Amino acid sequence: MIRFVEQGDMGQVLSMMEEVKADFAGYQEAEFLEALENAIRNKEAFLEEKQGKLAGIISFSYEEKEITFLAVRPEFRQCGIGRELVARVKSCFPSGAELSVITFRAGDEKGIAAHRCYHACGFEAGEELTVFDYPCQRMKVMIP
């Protein structure tokens, strides 16, 4: 079930982040919590639960038209959770809007799963950039 993230979900989210934080260059818990609390206030974060536990989370910005965070718990990867969360975010934007995400560059071992997920959701590779002193790439998709 996909639903908005609520303040009461923070414990589950932090527990999941302990499992996946190595996958995120520059991850800082305090900054992540501040961004997530802002996303909760703005209704810009969804989570999906499976088997009674948090399976994945996504946050985004209505203003920037950008996915700002996506993580799926390792035991639920390759089950379509990421694609379902991205589809839910895409449904928040009008037809013709361009949605973007910054992720690892193509060819980076850390980005293989992310690129596979975003490509499956219709995203195409865009400009290369550096975030948190790490080589990244913007990917974009036009909302049908």
H/E/C letters for each residue in the chain? CEEECCHHHHHHHHHHHHHHHHHCCCCCHHHHHHHHHHHHHCCCEEEEEECCEEEEEEEEECCCCEEEEEEECHHHCCCCHHHHHHHHHHCCCCCCCEEEEEEECCCCHHHHHHHHHHHHCCCEEEEEEEECCEEEEEEEEECC
Confidence of residue 118 (pLDDT cuts 50, 70, 90): very high
Residue 25 in this model has a pLDDT that exceeds 90? no
* Average pLDDT of the segment spanning 80-103: 97
Mean pLDDT of 130-142: 91
| Per-residue confidence band for 23, with pLDDT thresholds at 50, 70 and 90 | confident
What pLDDT does residue 133 have?
84
pLDDT in tens, 38-91: 999 999 999 999 999 999 999 999 999 999 999 999 999 999 999 999 999 999
Q: What average pLDDT does range 22-38 have in this prediction?
A: 91
pLDDT band with cut points at 50, 70 and 90 for residue 106: confident
pLDDT at 110 over 90: no
Whole-prediction pTM value? 0.94
Tell me what the mean pLDDT of segment 9-13 comes to.
96
Give me the mean pLDDT over the 89-117 stretch. 93
CA distance 90 to 67: 9
